[in-house]
Amino acid sequence: MTQRVLTTESGAPVADNQNSATAGVGGPILLQDQHLLEKLARFNRERIPERVVHARGSGAYGYFEVTDDVTGFTRADFLSAVGKRTETFIRFSTVADSLGGADAVRDPRGFALKFYTDEGNYDLVGNNTPVFFIKDPIKFPDFIHSQKRDPFTGRQEPDNVWDFWAHAPEATHQVTWLMGDRGIPASYRHMNGYGSHTYQWTNAEGEAFFVKYHFKTNQGVRSLSSEQAAELAGRDGNSHQTDLLQAIERGVHPSWTLYVQVMPAGEAADYRFNPFDLTKVWPHSDYPLQRVGRLVLDRNPDNVFAEVEQAAFSPNNFVPGIGPSPDKMLQGRLFAYADAHRYRLGVNHTQLPVNAPRTAVVDNYGRDGLHATRNGARYDKNYEPNSYAGPAQTGAALSAPLAIHGWTGTHEAPAHTKDDDFFQAGELYRLMSEDEKGRLVANIAGGLSQVTRDDVIEKNLAHFHAADADYGKRVEEAVRALRED
């Protein structure tokens, strides 16, 4: 094999990569040592700002294959025929901790999926839970601040965590999920994924439907107890990354079956729950799961930084036949995600290989900016309309229009007949076995008992009492017992 020659960034061969140039033997280093200066300068710039949330992640490539006909609901081309396959990239992540955190912690998991379709990239950015803590994006920065490290102590503080939840009764449903048995997945392969938000599908006839995505793991759901997770996190902080990497490397390809719940758009206004409230689910008895296809992961990234850390997902990356709903949290994310990537990676982050479309042709008037690689040919114009055969609009909307009415202003979400902050949390609690209830209560009490303010504890206890009398009674007794020890 021919020995490759080490070069500088400009392509010049490097004579010595072991010793810096000095003024004589043992003398000071010379400023003219271009190779040394270049290496140190590049080293200083190797990292980019980590994500504010979902900083710690793992990723893999794969494909999505359609197994069932859903053309009656959407005209999306990648869902147009049974057997059709589309290349995908997925990023799993924890939410609250930094890039240096452990994988085996009690935290929601990000489930962000990029479909490289023939009509452009479609990003589905969800979690491993079907609901979330809040329903309005204006509260998101406050929520995350309460869950991240305290500015003074530099650690996550139970006072902050539970104080926010005390003032956010709508979080009771997601808190019940998080503190329950599925709060710490055993691995990324052994958890479900959800679009969480409500999205819109539009078929070829222009009929609109609202949908929720459910990716059910074919490996089976497996979770860790708090004790198991603490031991695993202490032994191997990279446990979930290692598991995913090694499974794919040895040919064990994780897979999920995608189901959707489908609601005709006309039924949304009178549904018993607000169908666009991220703190609520649609009971399967109302809208059963309908199978769509399967997701298979079969290839690891070659470079974690280039393909996982620089992967950029945005829920406003839609394709024809799929669009947004009036879900307020989704509406906020349509801006926030793309803006985060422009900050972290630059305005041309969509040109990075992991983010660039595979088969669709990108043809627009975006030019220049940091790291631009697509600036057009000599006679291409950077304005529109023009007389030079530049790309033109199609006039065809990606999805059906949403009806708007009423006055502008800051409004609470419209109330539906069964809308409250506690009903579904109570329903979830009552579905649990006695053993599951016991672990849920212990997990909640373990954190809530550390709160120093009695009024914050009382506000949170009131939420659990409102969800279910037995739920509230058991949490209250468990908290009291721990505080008396």
CB 172 within 8 A of CB 437: no
Angle, CA 107 vertex, CA 102 and CA 109 arms, to 5°: 90
Q: What is the pLDDT of residue 405?
A: 82
If we measure between CA atoms, which residue out of 297, 365, 314, 347 comes closest to residue 90?
297
Is the bond preceding 185 in cis, omega lying within 30 degrees of 0?
no
Tokens 């990324």 belong to 188
Give Cα separations from 321 to 79, 211, 331, 350 (angstroms): 10, 12, 18, 22
Name the nearest CA neighbour of 224 among 192, 173, 194, 187. 187
Contact present, 76 and 38 (Cβ < 8 Å): no
The single-letter DSSP state of residue 138 is G
Question: In the beta sheet, which residues pair with residue 261?
Answer: 212
Q: What is the pTM of this model?
A: 0.94
Q: Is 127 a catalytic residue?
A: yes
pLDDT in tens, the chain (485 residues): 899 999 999 999 999 999 999 999 999 999 999 999 999 999 999 999 999 999 999 999 999 999 999 999 999 999 999 999 999 999 999 999 999 999 999 999 999 999 999 999 999 999 999 999 999 999 999 999 999 999 999 999 999 999 999 999 999 999 999 999 999 999 999 999 999 999 999 999 999 999 999 999 999 999 999 999 999 999 999 999 999 999 999 999 999 999 999 999 999 999 999 999 999 999 999 999 999 999 999 999 999 999 999 999 999 999 999 999 999 999 999 999 999 999 999 999 999 999 999 999 988 888 888 888 888 888 888 888 999 988 899 898 889 888 888 888 888 888 898 889 999 999 999 999 999 999 999 999 999 999 999 999 999 999 999 999 999 999 999 999 999 87
Which residue is catalytic, options 19, 35, 121, 127?
127
The backbone torsions φ and ψ at residue 136, rounded to the nearest 5 degrees and listed phi first, read -130, 130
Strands 193-194 and 199-202: unpaired
Q: Which two tokens stand for residue 4?
A: 């490759």
Torsion sign across C-alpha atoms 416, 421, 423, 427: positive
CA–CA distance, 313 with 324 (Å, rounded to integer): 15
- Of 17, 35, 44, 54, which residue is the catalytic one? 54
Tokens of 274: 């607000």
Give the model's pLDDT for residue 1: 87
Q: Which DSSP letter does residue 185 get?
A: B
Tell me whether strands 290-299 and 322-323 are parallel, antiparallel or unpaired: unpaired
Q: Are 292 and 79 in contact (CB under 8 A)?
A: yes
Decide if 107 contacts 161 (C-beta within 8 A).
no
Cβ atoms of 247 and 189 closer than 8 Å = yes
- Residues facing 109 on adjacent strands: 94
Residue 449 DSSP one-character state? T
**For residues 197 and 126, is the Cβ–Cβ distance under 8 A?**
yes
Cα gap 97→155, rounded to integer Å: 10
Give the model's pLDDT for residue 303: 97
Q: Are 131 and 281 in contact (CB under 8 A)?
A: yes
